[in-house]
Amino acid sequence: MRQTMDWQALMRAGLHGLGLSPDVFWSLTPAELRMMLGDAGAGAPLLNDGLAALMAAYPDKECEGTR
């Protein structure tokens, strides 16, 4: 499925909402603009509990000859 960008809304959000200059707005990638606009789907930071869960699920394994 092809998605289109609503450039008018993005320009309004970037130029007026964020106060970006046109050259800064057009130098951003779509991912950077999403992050600056506070897109909740951009992903939450990995906190201590999340890191501990990953470490428990995927522990480091010592290989022979690595010492």
Q: Which two tokens stand for residue 7?
A: 């450039």
Domain that holds residue 36: 7-57
pTM tops 0.85? no
Residue 16 predicted with pLDDT over 60: yes
Question: Within a domain: residue 64?
Answer: no
Number of domain units in the chain: 1
Query: Is 14 exposed, middle or buried (CB count within 10 Å of its CB: 0-12, 13-18, 19+)?
Result: buried
CA torsion sign, 8 to 23 to 38 to 46?
Answer: positive
- Answer whether residue 54 shows pLDDT above 60: yes
Find the distance separating the first CA and the last CA of the chain, reported in whole Å: 51
CA distance linking residue 21 with residue 34, whole number of Å? 17
Would you say residue 66 lies in a domain? no
